[in-house]
Structure 1
C-alpha cells in the first residue's frame, strides 16, 4: 500500500488548526486526523456540496447534531479531517463561517509556503544543473532535480530527440527497470512525441487518459510495460529554449493519492527551461571540448609524426652509410641487423642472402613455393617458428625477411617497413645494370663468333673476371618466358650457379635463351658437370637445355654451336628436358626441318601401318622391336611373346604394305631412320 509522507509543515498546520478550533469552540472535544479522501476522486464527482474548492484544496462541511466534521482535502499537503463535538449554540452559522475563514487563511498560507519551498528547490536544482558541464553530468542531474521539483512523483523519464532516427530516446530515468531504456518512441506514437512536436505541456490524471494517449499499438511497449508499473497520473513537458526543442521530461505517479495540477505544471515547466539551458550549454561545452580534443590529438599526431620522421631520417642515414660500406645486399642486411641487435635473416631472388646457421639450408625456390603454393606466412625450422615477410614490387616477389615470431613488434615492423623500400630499390638497381652488362657480353660473343678467340677478347674476358682455362663447356637453356626481364634472368643464373657450384662462368641472355660458358683447368670437372646437368633436367617439364661436348678453349666457337645444335634437336622434337651434343646422334640431320615436315615424311612411308590416330600399329611395333634386337628373329619373338613364324609373317606383311624391303640396303636405312623418327614426331 502506498503511504504518502509529508514534511514538518503538516504538524505545524495541525497545531494551528487546533488552536483556531479551541478558540472558536472552547471546552469542546476537537479531534484532527489524517483523511484518506482523494482530491482527484472528489473533483471527478459532484462538487455542488463542497464548502470551497480550488486547485490546492477542497473543504467539505458535515453536521450531525452537536457534532461537526470539516474535511480538508489537499493536493500537495496532508489531507485532514477535523471533528468537533460541542454545544449546539457554538455551531451557529456565523461562528462556523468565521471559523472556516480562518481555516482557509491557514490553508492558503500553507500552500504559499509549499510553493515558495518548491520554487526555492528549483533555484537549487538550477545551480545543480549548472554545475554539470558535459551532457553526461547534466543527464545525471536532470532526474535528481525533477524529483526534487515534484516531490510526490514516483518516476521520471528524460528523453532526447535523435534527428537521425526521428525518435525520442530515453537517456535518464528512475522508477522503472533498465529495459525501459529500450522504449524509444516515434513522434506519432505517444504523448511524449505529441509534446515534443507541439511544445505544449500535457497533463493526464487517470490511467484511462494515459492509455488513450497511445495512438498506435507497439509490441515493444507491451513487453516493457509488462515488467513496469502503469502510472495513474502523468505530466510531460517539452525541454526547449529559443533555439531548439531538445526532448521531453515526464513525471509519473503510481499512487491515486496525487494528481498533477497547475502548480506542478508551472514548477516543471520552469525546471525544464533550466534543463534546456543546461543541455544547450553542455552541448556547447562538449563541442568545445571535442574541438580541443581534436586539436590535442592533432598536436600529438604531429609530435608522433615528427618523432617518426626523425627516426626515419636517422635510419635512412644509417642505411645509406652501411650500403656504401657493404656492396653486397646480404652483407648490408647482416650489418643492419647487427647494428639494431635484430635476429633478421634475408634471402632474395638474385641470390643475395644473410642467413643464420640454423637457416642456412633455405633456398629461394623453397621459400617461394612455401609462400605461393601453400599460402603460408610462417615456416618451422627445427623446433622454432619463423615468420616470412615478403618483399614485392609491382606484384613480383623479390625477397624475404625471416624473423622469429616473438621478435616481431610494432617497432620492429616499422623498421622492416622502411628497410623493405630501400632493399627493393637496391634489387631493382642491381637488375637495371644487367641490361647494359648483357649488351656488352652479347657484343663480345658476336666479335668472337666473327674473329675467333683473340688476345683482345681474352682481355675482355679477364676484365669480367673470367679466366680462359684450357677446357670449355657451353650450356644453353630456354625458359617459358622471355628473359629480357633482368630480374628473372638473374634469378635463373643464381639458381644454376648455386645448384651446380659454378665458377669462372660467362653468361648472357637473348630473348628466351640463356647461355653459360664455363672454363676450367680440369676437363673431368666439366664432364662431371655435364652429367649433373643431364641428371637434373632429364625429366624436366619446363626447360629445354642443350649442352656442347667438353672441348679445348680454342674451340669456344664450336662449343657454342654444339650447344645450339643440341638445343635445336629438342626444339625440333618439341620436347622439354636436356640434350647433350654427343648424345644428339642422327637427330642433328633433322634440325633444319620443322616437326610438321618430319611428321609428313613419316606418314608418307608408314601410313599403311599406322592406326587411325597415327599411333604405330602392331606391324610397325614389330619392326621397331626387330631392329632394336639387331634383326634377331629369336630374340624379337621372345620379347614380344609370339612365334617366330608369326614374326616373319608380320615382317612380310609390313614390306608388302609399305613397298619397302629390309633386304635392300638403301630401304633398310630408310626404314630404320623413319622408325627412329616416329618415336619423337608422331602424336
Structure 2
C-alpha cells in the first residue's frame, strides 16, 4: 500500500520549514513487523529517526530532524506516521466492505471476469496493471481471462501450473510478493521457451503480487497485480487485502458458474424446471444474505451486538468463541446435542469458530455461517490492528512516565493516573500458544490478567514476548489485594508472573520492571505458573542468567547419592526437613514422627553417602542450597 507522508499536515509543515528531511527505504515484506517500529540515532546536530511501517507499505522511512526540540518533533512524526497508516487501513477496509455489486452479486461469469480488475485497482490504487487467470482443465493452462494496463497480446500469454510466478502460486496455493525487477526476473526461473520469449519482449514491472483464487478448497486461478513505477512495492497488508478480494471473487465466480449450469440444464431437460426455480431462490437468498450481513457489520456496534443482530434477523441459535476469550451464545442456544462447526480463519490460521444446528434448510445455514465467518475474519483483522496501535501507545506512555515526561494533554492517558504507591508486574510468554500464534497468545494472556485484577488504575501492554503491568493506588493494602488477585489469575491461566516491590518514587518504574522481569524469569525457569515476588526469589537472585539445566545438574551432583537409589529417598526427605526446621533435632523428629536417635542415624548415613559433614559450614551450605533448589524445581516439602 502506497503512503504519502508529506500529505500529512504536520510532516508537510516540518518539511517546508526545513526542520525535516525524509526518504523512503525498501524493505523485504516477508520479515516486516506487524507493528510500526522505530529507532533513533543522533549524528552531530542531526537526529535520525528510522520508522518501519513495511508491514503496510513495504517501506521504511528515514527522517532527518534538524530541530532544537528533537524529542517533541520525533513524537509528532511517529504520531503522524501512525495516523497515516490508520487512515490507509480504514480507507481500505471501507472499500473492501463496498466492493462493486457487479463482481460480488453478479450471476454473469463474463461480467464478473471483466469487472474484477477494476475493483482490485480501486481497492489498491497504487497498482498500475493486473491480470486475472483461470485454470482450463481441458488444456491444462492458466489462461488470462481479463487484464488491465498490459499489451493486447498478453491474452496469449498462457502458462502451466508450476510455471512462472502465477503457475507456482496456483500449484502451491501460497501467495507471492516480489519487489524489484531482478527479484521478479529471478522468480520466473521455471518457464517454457515460448513463455520465456514473450517475457523477454515485455516490460518488466518493479513490483508483483500474486494470490490464488479458491472456492470451497478448489483452486480456480490466480489474481496478479503489477506496479511499474520505480518506487513501487507491495506489502504484507496488500497481500491480505488482495486475498480477501480473491476470496470474494471466487465465491461470486463459482456461484455464477453454478447458476449458468443450472440454466443450461433446465433448457435441455424440461423436468428440471422445479429444481431450477429452487436454485434461483437459493441464489437470491445468498445475495440477500450477503447484503444483510454487510449492513449489520457496517455499523459501529461491537461484535457481540452484531452477532445478536444476526441471531434475531435470521432466527437462528448458535455459539461463537474466539482465541481472545470472547464467548457468545444466542438466547436460545443450548450445549446439549450434536452441533456443526464453522471455523473462522485469518491467513489460514483458525481464530474462532461457530457452533450451530441445522434444520430442514441445511444449505442456507451452511451458507449463512460460511459467509458470517468471512465477515468476522475481516472484523478480527481490523480489531487486531486497533489493538496493536493501542498497545504501542500504552508502551510509549509507560516509557514517558519512566522518563519523567508529563502527559501532552492531547489524549487520554488510557484510564491510568499515578497515585502514591506503585507496583510493576511482568508476565512471561504463555506456556501454550493460541493457534500457534505468539501475538494472539500475548493478547489473550493480557486480557485474562486484566480481567482477574482488582485495581482498575493500571497500565497494561505487551512487548518482546512479555506483558508489563503498572498498577498505582493510594494505599499499600489495595496493591496487596490486587497482587493476590493477579496470582490467582496467573495460576488459573498457567502464566508465569513476576512482581516488584511496592514503591513510592515515580522514577523507579524501569528498575521495578527489571526486578519483576527477574522474578518472572526465575518462575519460568522452574517450569511453574503463578506469581513470584522479587523479594521471594531467595538464592535464585544469584542465578540470573543461568539455564534451568545448569541448576538441575548442580542439585544432582550434590544430592545424587540420595536421589538415584529409591531406598535412600527417605534420607533426602530427612535432610530436607532438618534444614527446613533450622537444624532443630527435636522439631525434625516430631515432624517426621521418629525418635531423635533414628534422626541422628539417618543424618550420619547422609554424611557417609554424600561425603559431606553437616557440622562443616561449607558442606552444610552446599547441602542446604541443593535441597532448596531441588524443592523449588521438583516440588516442595510439605510443612
Task: Tell me the TM-score normalized by structure 1.
Answer: 0.45
Query: If you compute each CA radius of gyration, which structure gives the higher value, 1 or 2?
Result: 1
